[in-house]
A and B are shown apart, each in its own frame.
Chain A
Amino acid sequence: MSVSDIVITSTGKKDPSFTIPVIAAAGAFAGIFVGAAQGSTLLGIVGGAILLAILAFLCIEKLGRDGEKMARWGILALFAVGGFAFGAVAGLVVGLLFGWFFGWFIYWIGFNRYRAHLVPYLTPGQVLWHYSFRVICGAIFVFLITPIIVVMPLSFNAEDFFTFTPEMLRFDPEGYSLKHYRDFFTNPEWTSAVWNSLKIAPVATFISVSLGTLAAIGLSQSHVPGKRAIMAILISPMIVPLIISATGMYFFYSKIGLVGTYWGIVLAHAVLGIPFVIITVTATLVGFDRSLTRAAANMGANPVTTFFRVQMPLILPGVISGGLFAFITSFDEVVVVLFIGSAELQTLPWQMFTGLREQISPTILAAATVLVSISIVLLAMVEMLRRRSERLRGMSPG
C-alpha cells in the first residue's frame, strides 16, 4: 500500500453549485488554447465552459459514481473524435489527453476526492494553496524543460529548417528523417569536432581531478595559513566572467606559444574544471574522519599509502562527481575555445556555435539531442553516486 492510497478524509458528493462552475472554469481555460489554435479565442472559452458544464452535470448528477467507468470512457471517446475532426492525428492525440484529464477531473472535483489525502481540518483556502503550489511547481518544471524537449522532434525534421512542417504535425512518416543524424555521424566537420572534444575533455578532466583533489585535501588541513584566500583564488575561474578569463588566457597563451595548440585548450579547460573538483571534494572531506589517517599512520603506512588505501576510497564519490562536472565543463565549453582554439582543433560546441550563426541547420539539433542525452546520463550517474555515499554514511534512510 503506497502513501497515495491512504484515505485520510472521507469523501462524498459535492454540491453542484460549487462543482459545475469550477469544472466549467477549467473547461474555459482549456478552451483558450483550443480556440486560439482554431482561430477564435472567445469562442473557445465559451464553448469549453458550456461543454464542460454539461459533461459535469451529466456525470455527477445523472450517472453518479456507479456509472464512473462508462462516463470516463465516454468522455475520452468524445474528445478523441472531436479532436480528430479538428486536427487529424495530432488533434486525436490532444483530444485523448484532454478527454482522459477531464474525465478524471470531473470526478475528482465532483466527489470531493481532492480532500481524500489531506488532513480533515484544513480550510478551503489551505486546500486550494496545497494544489496551487503543486501546479506552480509543475509549471516551472515545464518552463525549464520545454525548450530542451522541443528541439528533439525537430531534429528528426526531413527539411533543412527549424520548422514543424505540416507533414510532421500530421505524424506523416514522410515528414521525418534521420538525415541530420546521418550528417552528424558522417560529415567530417562534425565527426572531427566530436573526436577533438573527446580527445580534449578526458585529459583536461584528469588534470582537473588530480590537481583539484590534492588542493582540496591540502586545504582541509587545519594548519594551512591563508586557507580562505587560497581557496578564493582557486575557485575564481568559476566566478570571474568567462569572457574575461578567456581574453586573459588568449594574450598570456599567445606570448608563450600555446594558442591554437592541443595542450593550450587542455590546460585552459583544466583550469575551468578545477573549482568543481575542489568544491565537491571539500564537501566530501567534511564527513571524513581524520582519526582514520592517524590510525593508518600508527600502523606504519606512509602518507601516500594512507591516501590511496584509506582516504581515497572514502572520498571517491566526491572525486568522481567533481570529475564529471569537470568533464561536462570541458565538453560544453565554447567561449575559451573560440579564443584559444584553432581551425584544426574545432570542438563540438565551437562547431555548433559557428554553425548556428552562419547556417541554421537541424544537424545542430541532432547534435544537441545527442549531447543532452549524454548530459542526462552523466548527471544521473552523479546523483546515484551522491545517494550511494549518503547511504554509506548513514545520512539517509535508504
Chain B
Amino acid sequence: MFRYYLKLGTLSIRANPILSALMVAAIAIGIGACMTIMTVRHVMSGNPIEHKNDQLYHVQVDNWNPDDPYDDPDGAPVQVTYLDAKALFDAGRAFRQTTSFKTSRVIQPEGADARPFQEESRATTADFFTMFDVPFLYGSGWDRSADETLEHVIVLSRELNEKLFGGENSVGRTLMINDESFRVTGVVDTWNPVPKYYDVNNNPFEDPAQLFLPFSVAIAGNYDNSGNTSCWKPIPDGTGREGFLASECIWIQMWVELQNESAKQDYMTFLDAYVEEQKLIGRFPRPLNNHLRNPDEWMRYNEVVDDDVDVLLGLAVLFLVVCLLNTIGLLLAKAMRSAKNTSLRRALGASKAELFKQHVIEAGMIGVAGGLFGIVMTWFGLRGIENLYADYDFIQHLVRMDWSMVMLAVALAVVSALGAALYPTWRTCNITPASYLRLQ
C-alpha cells in the first residue's frame, strides 16, 4: 500500500503544481531560516573538548575589592593574578596544571630582506598541550623541566611553520623572536577549537595562537599581556613591573586537570585552604568564593553565545511557524479541492485509517522535498551571513554545516510537514462517504 500511496501522492502533487510548489517553498524557506541560525548557534555553543569535560577545570579565586565585587554572576574574578597563578602552579596539587596569557611577539626571520612580523602568541606551561589534547604534526610540547629552567623553547602552529620553514620538520631549528633565540620543540597540526575555550576572556571566536612559549620565560622577559588586564587595587607608585607582578591585577588564565570527582573535591579544599592562608597576610578581603568550572560550565558562565544569536533563533522559529501556518492553510485548501475524490474513495470502502495514511504519506513527501530545498536555502543563508560579516575573519569557522545539521534540517522539515498535515488530514478523514457525490 505504501508504494501505492506514494504514487497517489505524486499524482496529487502533480495535479496541483502551483499549490504544491508554494508549500514546498514555504517549508524550505522556514527551514532555511531556522537552520541558518541554528548552524551558527550550534558552532558557537559547541564544546571542542567534550571528551575531557569532566576532567578540565578553570580556576577562579576571589581576590577582589571588599567594597565592590567583581562584575559577573557570582562575583568571582574571571582571571587570576600572577601571585596566585605562580603559587597555585608551584604547589602542583593537580594532576596537570597550566597558567597562560596572550602576548604579541615579533618574529625576525633569517635573511637580509626578510621583514620582521608580529604574531599572536601564548605564554603557557608544558601541560597545556597534553591537557587540551593539542595535536602535533612534528615533535611535541616542551618538557616540564623547561618551565623551571627558563629554557627558550617554542611550539609553532602549522601555518607559521609553513611560512617560516616551508612546512618541513623544523624541530630543533632556532628562531629569533624579539631578539632572543628560541629552539623549536614541536609543530602543532591544524588546531582551531571553536570556541577558543581555553581563553574565552579574550574573544572566544578568534584564531588560536600562532606560537607558544614558556610562561616562565615570558615573565622573566617582561612580555606584555595583550589580553585583558583588570585591577581594583592601585599599584604603589614607582614599583614598575615588580609592583605589577605583586599586584591584585588579574590577567592570567589558569586551568587544572583533575581525574575524578574526589580529586576535584581535594583540589577545592586545597584552594580554600590557600585562600585562608593568604587572608592571614592581608590578601583576599572578600568571603571565600572559589570556583572550579569545567569547559561547558565555563563557556556558559561567560555567555560565549551572543544574545543576538538567540534573538535571531527565536525569530527564526516564529518564522518557521508562519511558514507552517501557510502550509496548513494551503493543505486545507488542497484537501477541500479534492474532497470529491476523498468522498468517492470513502464510498468505495477506504477506511479512515487508510485515508489518514494516504494523506500523511503525501504530506511526508512534501516535507522531504521542503527539507531538501531547505538545506539549499540554509547553504544560501550561511553564505549570506558570511558575506555580511566578511570583515570579521573568523566568520568562516562559524558558518560551517556538518552532517548532524543536514540530518536535523530534513528531520525538522518532515516533522513540520507532518505536523502541518494533521489538521487538514483530520478534516479530510471526516468527510462523510458519498457526501460530495450528491452534487453530481
Do A and B pair up? The answer is no
Interface residues of chain A, those whose CB is within 8 Å of chain B, are: none
